[in-house]
Amino acid sequence: MDIDALPVTALKGVGPRLAEKLQRLDLYTVQDVLFHLPYRYQDRTRIVELGGLRPGMEAVVVGTIEVADVAFRGKRSLLCRISDGTGFLTLRFFHFSAAQQSRLQRGCRVRAYGEVRLTRSGLEMIHPEYTVVSEHDAPSAAEDHLTPVYPTTEGVHQLSLRRLAAQALDRHLDDIREWLPQAVLAALDFPVLKEALLCVHRPAPDAEVVLLLEGRHPLQQRLAFEELLAYQLSLLRARTTKQRQQAPSLGSQGRLHQRLLEQLPFGLTDAQRRVIDEVRRDLEQECPMQRLVQGDVGSGKTLVAAAVATFAVEAAYQVAIMAPTELLAEQHAKNFQHWFEPLGVEVARLSGKQGVRSRAAALAAIASGEAAVVVGTHALFQQGVEFAGLGLVVVDEQHRFGVHQRLALREKGNRDGRYPHQLIMTATPIPRTLAQAIYADLNVSVVDELPPNRTPVKTVVIPDSRRAEVVERVLHAGRQGQQVYWVCPLIEESEALELQTATDTETALAEALPQLRVALVHGRMRPAEKERVMAAFMGGEVDLLVATTVIEVGMDVPNASLMIIENAERLGLSQLHQLRGRVGRGTTDSSCVLLYQPPLSELARKRLSAMRETNDGFEIARRDLELRGPGEMLGTRQTGMPRFRIADIMRDQVLLPSVQRTAALLLEKYPERIDPLVRRWLGQGEKYCDI
CATH of the domain at 471: 3.40.50.300
- Which of these, 611, 295, 300, lies nearest to 454 by C-alpha position? 300
CA distance linking residue 84 with residue 87, whole number of Å: 6
User: Does residue 400 have a pLDDT over 90?
Assistant: no
Q: CA-CA distance, 18 to 433, in Å (whole number)?
A: 42
Domain shared by 289 and 426, yes or no = yes
What is the Cα–Cα distance from 685 to 683, expressed in whole angstroms? 5
Do 424 and 309 share a structural domain?
yes
- Chain centroid to Cα 392, Å, comes to 27
Question: Over 60: is that where the pLDDT of 324 sits?
Answer: yes
What pLDDT digit, counting tens, does each position of 542-574 carry? Answer: 999 999 877 756 677 889 999 999 999 988 888
Residues near 145 by Cβ (< 8 Å), separated by ≥ 6?
A: 45, 202, 203, 204, 205, 207
C-alpha distances out from residue 246 to 287, 288, 413, Å: 5, 6, 12
Residues 191 and 329 in one domain: no
Separation between Cα atoms, residue 321 and residue 333, nearest integer Å: 9
Mean pLDDT over 644-669 rounds to 90
| For residue 128, pLDDT beyond 50 | yes
pLDDT single digits (tens) 213-233: 888 999 999 999 999 999 999
Mean pLDDT for the stretch of residues 119-133: 91
Do 518 and 373 sit in the same domain of this protein?
A: no
Answer whether residue 368 is part of any domain: yes
* pLDDT above 80 for 369: yes
Question: Is 241 inside a domain boundary?
Answer: no
What crossing angle do the helices spanning 674-682 and 656-669 adopt, rounded to 10°? 140
What's the rounded mean pLDDT across residues 476-489? 93
Q: Is 347 helix (H, G, I), strand (E, B) or coil?
A: strand
**Last residue of a domain, which of 103, 120, 142?**
142
pLDDT above 70 coverage of the chain, percent: 90
**Is pLDDT at 444 greater than 60 in this prediction?**
yes
The 10s digit of each residue's pLDDT in 530-539 is 878 988 998 8
pLDDT at 679: 92
- Please enumerate in sequence order all residues whose Cβ is within 8 A of that of 262, keeping only pairs 6 or more positions apart, or say none: none
Q: Is the same domain home to 53 and 34?
A: no
Q: Peptide bond before 7: cis, by omega within 30 degrees of 0?
A: no
- Residue 360 maps to a domain: yes
State whether 172 and 56 are in the same domain: no
The residue among 579, 534, 576 whose CA lies nearest residue 552 is 579
Of 429, 447, 465, the one marking the end of a domain is: 447
pLDDT of residue 84: 94
- Burial class for 85, CB neighbours closer than 10 Å (0-12, 13-18, 19+): exposed
- pLDDT at residue 636, as a whole number: 36
Per-residue model confidence (pLDDT) at position 634: 40
Q: Is 682 a residue whose pLDDT tops 70?
A: yes
Is residue 538 one of the residues assigned to a domain?
yes
pLDDT value at residue 398: 57
Residues 31 and 54 in one domain: no
Q: Where are the beta strands (DSSP E) in 33-108?
A: 40-42, 58-71, 77-83, 88-93
Q: Identify the pLDDT of residue 524.
A: 77
Domain total in the chain: 4
Spatial distance between the Cα atoms of 428 and 553, rounded to a whole number of angstroms: 12
Other Cβ atoms within 10 Å of 106 Cβ, number: 12
Place 632 in a pLDDT band, splitting at 50, 70 and 90. very low
| Burial status of residue 263 (CB atoms within 10 A of its CB: 0-12, 13-18, 19 or more) | exposed
Q: Are 144 and 157 in contact (CB under 8 A)?
A: no
Tell me, yes or no, whether 398 and 537 share the same domain.
no
Average pLDDT, the chain: 87
Would you state the pLDDT for residue 553?
60
Q: At what angle do helices 301-314 and 270-283 cross, to 10 degrees?
A: 30
Residue 495's pLDDT band, with cuts at 50, 70 and 90, is: very low
Cβ atoms of residues 582 and 483 within 8 Å: no
Who contacts 504 (Cβ-Cβ below 8 Å, separation ≥6)? Answer: none
Q: Which domain holds residue 442?
A: 255-447
Residue 366 clears pLDDT 80, i.e. is over it: yes
In degrees, rounded to 5, the angle at the alpha carbon of residue 412 between the alpha carbons of residues 407 and 417 is 90
Q: What share of the chain is helix, strand, coil (3-state, %, to 5)?
A: 45, 20, 35
Based on the domain organization, do 470 and 585 belong to the same domain? yes
Q: Quick one: which H or E segment has residue 320?
A: strand 318-322
What pLDDT is stored for residue 527 in this prediction?
72
Q: What is the sign of the dihedral through the CA atoms of 507, 513, 514 and 520?
A: negative
Domain shared by 431 and 506, yes or no? no
Sign of CA dihedral 471, 472, 473, 479: positive
Residue at 100 is within a domain? yes
Q: Assess whether pLDDT exceeds 50 at residue 638.
A: no
How do residues 279-305 score in pLDDT, each as one tens digit? 999 999 999 998 989 888 778 899 999
Does residue 134 share a domain with residue 12?
no
CA 626-629-630 angle, to 5 degrees, is: 120
Q: What is the pLDDT of residue 513?
A: 96
Residue type, 380: L
Name, of 135-149, 345-359, 497-511, the range with top average pLDDT: 345-359
Residue 633 reports pLDDT greater than 60: no
Secondary structure class of 552 (helix, strand, coil) = coil
In DSSP terms, 201 is beta-bridged to none
pLDDT higher than threshold 60 for residue 659: yes
Is this structure's pTM higher than 0.75?
no
Question: Is 242 inside a domain boundary?
Answer: no
Residue 570 and residue 489 share a domain? yes
Indicate whether 225 belongs to any domain: no
More confident residue, 411 or 37: 37
pLDDT band at residue 496 under the 50/70/90 scheme = very low
Cα–Cα distance between 490 and 194 in angstroms, integer?
49
Regarding beta strands 77-83 and 109-119, do their DSSP bridges make them parallel or antiparallel, or are they unpaired?
A: unpaired
Q: In Å, how far from its chain's centre is CA 197?
A: 28
Confidence class for position 640, pLDDT limits 50, 70, 90 = very low
Where among 171, 192, 207 does a domain terminate? 207
Q: Considering only CA atoms, which of 78, 73, 163 is closest in space to residue 126?
A: 78
Question: What letter would DSSP give residue 78?
Answer: E
Q: Calculate mean pLDDT across residues 133-147.
A: 69
- Band (401; pLDDT cuts 50, 70, 90): low
Between CA 54 and CA 518 the distance in angstroms is 46
608 part of a folded domain: yes
> Which of these ranges, 87-101, 249-263, 414-428, 624-638, has the smallest mean pLDDT?
624-638
